[in-house]
Amino acid sequence: MRISQLSAVSGVPIPTIKYYLREGLLPAGEQTSATRAEYGERHVRRLRLIRALLEVGHLPIAAIRKVVAAVEDESMGMHRVLGTAHYAISPPVESHPDDEEWRRARAEADGLIADLGWQVDAAAPARDELAQAVLTLDRLGLPATGDALRPYAETAMRLVAEHEIRTIPLDRTREEAVEALVVGTVVHGRVLDVMRRLAQESASARIFGISEARHD
Amino acid sequence: MRISQLSAVSGVPIPTIKYYLREGLLPAGEQTSATRAEYGERHVRRLRLIRALLEVGHLPIAAIRKVVAAVEDESMGMHRVLGTAHYAISPPVESHPDDEEWRRARAEADGLIADLGWQVDAAAPARDELAQAVLTLDRLGLPATGDALRPYAETAMRLVAEHEIRTIPLDRTREEAVEALVVGTVVHGRVLDVMRRLAQESASARIFGISEARHD
């Protein structure tokens, strides 16, 4: 199909498609003449992936470029693709290895991961993200030990082990499986976050709701 | 204490403190002369809250202003403060009520919340966030029904009901309880998200790790 059809099928405007082509997010079409290129199903799927990472993941273009490069690199196994996606979606955290407070927070985070027996790369940026949260809780005088955070770890691992592991589509092509893995990480992460806020609102309505209505 | 001491105690530079004062994030100090104002423990705590919402929550200043206003409004009950915090931390989602596809996604989200028996405001922005996720999954050909998302809902509610509910510090002052509630929502949301990625990495290392090493 031509670029105009690709735009119609995907709902992505032609200038945006051209921008993605320039930025290397979308592979070039097959050049059929000097001024024409043909696009296919693969381009439609890639546009959906980009849109998902943008609209639901709120990822910057640079992060999407890294994810797309991992999807395209067929020599990259599933574990490394997932790692690339994880690293790309991690919000930037300033590490402060010279600061005593920071080192304690990071040690608390590393200690919890070790206690849980989890296999996590020593350079995973999620370790710094966890340290940042520990530091923030500690500064606010809220429980910030590994033990205080353990319920979140156990909740997450139960979800992964009992549910998410089963949803990896190992029966599809590598590209489809990888896309599902990446999108699942991003979109289902948003789903879990939204569900937690909805569950909190519902629990709060039950606990505080009625007594508050009296003051209205 | 004077502004210089407030800066030393909180670790927030004086120009930043002045910016927060101008933006209404920090209440004015007590004016002791034409050029001097006194700050207290309350300002130290507020600066910690702002820093937590900025550094871990990645909230824009406008969102922090809304949260701070809710913390300061003593007539506002806990349920409404939590609601205000939830609304402030929701990423902006474009609602498309005229679009048939959007309406179906939103109906799927609303249907799941109703099936779960959750008490959620009809105007809660989290409903649109959930609809956006449903729409994205559906477009990518991934499972997008309420049933497919139910494991996330059940995981979230178990965490809230079995753990988070107990951590609301109802024995402290209203301001402290409200701050803990707001910070907990934001920071523990990040903790859960990080833990899920760490758990995924660990599970992925176990599943894919060894076979991938062979190809290296």
Residues A110 and A47 in one domain: no
Among A10-24, B34-48, B167-181, name the one with the lowest average pLDDT: B167-181
User: Among A96, A155, A195, which would you mutate to test the B interface (most chain B Cβ atoms within 10 Å of its Cβ)?
Assistant: A195
B56, B87, B118 - which closes a domain: B87
Bridge partners, residue A212, by sequence: none
ipTM, two decimals, is 0.86
What residues in B contact A142, CB-CB < 8 Å? 180, 183-184, 187
Alpha helices in A140-173 (DSSP H): 146-162
Question: Given this model, what pLDDT does residue A212 score?
Answer: 52
Domain membership of residue A80 (yes or no) is no
Residues B11 and B82 in one domain: yes
- CA distances, A48 to each of A74, A101, A142, A149, B108 (Å): 20, 43, 41, 36, 20
Establish if B200 touches chain A: CB-CB under 8 angstroms.
Answer: yes
Higher pLDDT, B212 or B68: B68
Question: Has residue A70 been placed in a domain?
Answer: no
Q: Write out pLDDT tens, residues A78-111.
A: 888 888 888 887 877 888 888 999 999 999 999 9
DSSP run (H or E) holding B62: helix B61-72
| A189 in Cβ contact with B128 (< 8 Å) | no
Structural domain for B101, as ranges: 96-215
CA B133/CA B175 separation, integer angstroms = 34
Give the pLDDT of residue B43: 94
State the pLDDT at residue A211. 52
Q: Is residue B146 domain-shared with residue B127, that is, in the same domain? A: yes
Taking the Cβ of residue A122 and every Cβ of chain B, the question of whether any pair is shorter than 8 Å is answered with no
Residues A117 and A44 in one domain: no
A174-194 pLDDT, tens digit each: 777 777 788 888 889 999 999
Predicted confidence band of residue B212 (pLDDT cuts 50, 70, 90): low
- Is the CB of B75 inside 8 Å of chain A's CB atoms? yes
| Residue B186 shares a structural domain with residue B109 | yes
Same domain, A45 and A112: no
CA A210 – CA A78 distance, rounded (Å): 50
Q: Do residues B187 and B125 both lie within one domain?
A: yes
In terms of domains, do A112 and A25 share one?
no
pLDDT tens-digit profile of A21-71? 999 899 999 999 988 899 999 899 899 889 888 877 778 898 899 888 888
CB contact under 8 A, B82 and A201: yes
CATH of the domain at A17: 1.10.1660.10
Distance from CA of A33 to the nearest CA of B (A): 31
Are A40 and A100 members of one domain?
no
Q: Could you tell me which residues are beta bridge partners of residue B36?
A: B33
Q: How confident is the model at residue A157 (pLDDT cuts 50, 70, 90)?
A: very high
Tens of pLDDT, residues B52-109? 888 777 788 988 998 888 888 888 888 888 888 888 878 778 888 889 999 999 999 9
Contact criterion met (CB < 8 Å) for A52 and B136? yes
Cα B210 to Cα B107: distance, rounded to the nearest angstrom: 43
The answer to whether B163 contacts A184, with C-beta atoms less than 8 Å apart, is no
What is the DSSP secondary structure assignment for residue A28, as one 8-state letter? P
Q: What is the residue-averaged pLDDT of chain A? A: 88
Same structural domain, B67 and B163:
no
Please indicate, yes or no, whether residues B188 and B148 belong to a single structural domain of this protein: yes
A35 and A110 together in one domain: no
**3-state SS, residue B153:** helix
- What CA–CA distance (Å, rounded) separates B154 from B166? 18
User: Is A77 domain-assigned?
Assistant: no
CA distances from A55 to A49, A66, A99, B20, B135 (A): 10, 17, 37, 31, 10
Yes or no, beta carbons of A167 and B124 under 8 Å apart: no
Residue B216 clears pLDDT 70, i.e. is over it: no
Total structural domains in chain B? Answer: 2
> Of B23, B54, B87, which residue is a domain's last?
B87
Q: E strand or H helix at A96, and its extent?
A: none
